[in-house]
Chains A and B, each alone.
Chain A
Amino acid sequence: DAKTTQPNSMESNEEEPVHLPCNHSTISGTDYIHWYRQLPSQGPEYVIHGLTSNVNNRMASLAIAEDRKSSTLILHRATLRDAAVYYCIPVRQGGSEKLVFGKGTKLTVNP
Chain B
Amino acid sequence: SQQGEEDPQALSIQEGENATMNCSYKTSINNLQWYRQNSGRGLVHLILIRSNEREKHSGRLRVTLDTSKKSSSLLITASRAADTASYFCATNSGYSTLTFGKGTMLLVSP
A, B assembled together: no
> What residues make up the interface of A, taking CB atoms closer than 8 Å to B?
none
Question: Taking beta carbons and an 8 Å cutoff, which residues of B are in contact with A?
Answer: none
